[in-house]
Amino acid sequence: MDVLSSKQDSGWRNKRGEASLSDVHRSINISRSGSRWRRLAAFAGPGYLVAVGYMDPGNWATSLAGGSKFGYALLAVALLSNLMAIVLQSLCARLAIASGRDLAQACRDAFPKWVSIPLWALAEIAIIATDIAEVIGTAIGLNLIFGIPLELGVLITALDVFIILYLQKMGFRWVEAFIITLLGVIAVCFAIQIFLADPQWGGVIRGFFPTTEIVTNPEMLYLALGILGATVMPHNLYLHSGIVQTRNYGHTLPEKKEALTYATIDSTVALCFALLINASILILAAAAFNSTGRTEVAELGEAHSLLAPLLGLAIAPTLFGIALLCCGLNSTVTATLAGQIVMEGFLKMKLQPWIRRLITRAIAIIPAAFVTIWYGDAGTAELLILTQVVLSLQLSFAVFPLVMFTASKAKMGELVAPIWLSGVAWLIAVVIAGLNVKLLVDFVSG
């Protein structure tokens, strides 16, 4: 362990253990002699894995529901959520590079077991909620493109573990290339659909400015929190703090500062791309459904069937299905990695990725299969939105420790977050917690 890390370890209850994702830890070399652009390119990748969580199938359900019900009004929530995400993900990179720990390891090393074990349980619940959304989204994508029944599609999703195993054996850069390629396909699909929908761009611009109705209208707030839960996702905070350590950025303070700069640029650019996709889903729903009086569209299957007659081209629903399937596959890879980081970080328990994946997926398949069999499309839409609200309620239990750690000079050393950044992060944490309390009060009071 280097001297810098040894000094920072004095601020933790427990010494740093095994490296996060030890099989790929510092496996990607950073050229010391190359240009800045080349070094920046070497850091590009983790941000796009994180960005996947901001456009997963659960996000589609909340954005479709929000766009069809309230038009462009909830674009402000998508923008605000993305700005929050940029700040929080930058703190994840800071925590990892400064302390050599991912967020799960940091919680284990900073808190007593009676605190860290419940935090682990909550993180697992968040990952299962994420996985349920992926199972349903992938199954719907298979149904829309190939006509595979939802019940069978749910079972087929268990096989995606082989994709992950194959990519991980080839190297972590191949995992990133797979993710970025599918993101490109998603972007092209939505660009064509937005062009066909021809939205009111004046309304789109106004939609990015928030109104008080978002907080005062319980139904709008419920969807807004769903969008928040689908955007700033708990498992992404654990994921980013682990995968940024796949870069071999050196051990000296200047090298770590440079690594932090490049990692922050990577995640910020990737999250701006995620905002474009997020906003595209909502804009498409507002332009295609809300403007034609269809204000109750929340089911992915229903949206798919309506796109062809509303947009006038048969290719529109096919593009929708392809993008949805790509989202599901992408989210599968990132959720597996996040689950591995959470289990190893909190419990020091190492499982083969395929075992970990099958356990998580089996837990997710049971409720997803039950809902698809008994309630069909309508039930899956409600379950998708519910998973996103569950994620939002779990979020504070990851955000508050992250902000607390990165604001501590004893834990972070010279890379402690500036006072202004910590202030913004604490404000975000309080806003998220406050919105969740209001959601619970509204729910209990009916």
What is the DSSP track for 33-97? SS-HHHHHHHH-SHHHHHHHTTSSHHHHHHHHHHHHHHTTTTHHHHHHHHHHHHHHHHHHHHHHH
Percent share of the chain, pLDDT over 70: 85
Percent share of the chain, pLDDT over 90: 30
Residue pair 148/51 in contact (Cβ under 8 Å)? The answer is no
CA dihedral sign of residues 346, 350, 353, 358? negative
Task: Check residue 208 and give its pLDDT.
Answer: 92
Task: Check residue 8 and give its pLDDT.
Answer: 57
Task: Check residue 393 and give its pLDDT.
Answer: 77
Give me the mean pLDDT over the 253-263 stretch.
94
Neighbouring residues of 123: CB distance < 8 A, sequence distance ≥ 6: 104, 234, 235, 238, 342, 346, 394, 397, 398
Residue pair 304/144 in contact (Cβ under 8 Å)? The answer is yes
Cα→Cα distances 178→59, 261, 331, 339, Å: 21, 25, 12, 19
Domain 3-444 classified CATH 1.10.260.40? no
Which band of pLDDT confidence, cut at 50, 70 and 90, is reported for residue 241? very high
Give me the mean pLDDT over the 259-275 stretch.
94
Q: Produce one character per residue of 317-342: b if its CB has 16 or more CB atoms within 10 Å, e if not.
A: bbbbbbbbbbbbbbbbbbbbbbbbbb
Global confidence as pTM:
0.87
By C-alpha distance, which of 348, 428, 337 is closest to 120?
Answer: 348
Q: What CA dihedral angle connects 38, 43, 45 and 49, to 10 degrees? A: -170
Give me the mean pLDDT over the 435-445 stretch.
69
- Both tokens of 103, joined, read 């967020």
pLDDT in tens, 106-150: 999 999 999 999 999 999 888 887 777 777 778 888 888 888 887
Residue pair 368/132 in contact (Cβ under 8 Å)? The answer is yes
Task: Check residue 415 and give its pLDDT.
Answer: 95
Least-confidence region, from 181-195, 228-242, 344-358, 406-420: 344-358
Instruction: For the chain, give the mean pLDDT.
Output: 83
**Which residues are paired to 247 by β-bridges?**
28
At residue 84, what are phi and psi to the nearest 5 degrees?
-60, -45
Name the amino acid, one letter, at 414: E
Is 362 exposed, middle or buried (CB count within 10 Å of its CB: 0-12, 13-18, 19+)? Answer: exposed
CA dihedral sign of residues 172, 176, 178, 179? positive
State yes or no: pLDDT of 302 exceeds 60.
Answer: yes
Which band of pLDDT confidence, cut at 50, 70 and 90, is reported for residue 92? very high
Is 114 exposed, middle or buried (CB count within 10 Å of its CB: 0-12, 13-18, 19+)? Answer: exposed
**Inter-axis angle of helices 353-406 and 103-110, nearest 10:** 60
Task: Check residue 217 and give its pLDDT.
Answer: 84
Question: Distance between CA atoms of 314 and 46, rounded to whole angstroms?
Answer: 36
Biggest CA-to-CA distance, the chain: 65
pLDDT in tens, 338-385: 888 898 899 888 777 667 667 766 766 677 677 667 766 666 667 766
Name the amino acid, one letter, at 165: L
Q: Which helix (H) or strand (E) holds 29?
A: strand 28-29
What is the DSSP track for 242-264? HHGGGEE--SSHHHHHHHHHHHH
Beta carbons within 10 angstroms of residue 440's beta carbon? 11
pLDDT in tens, 2-49: 545 555 566 888 888 888 888 888 888 887 777 888 888 889 999 999
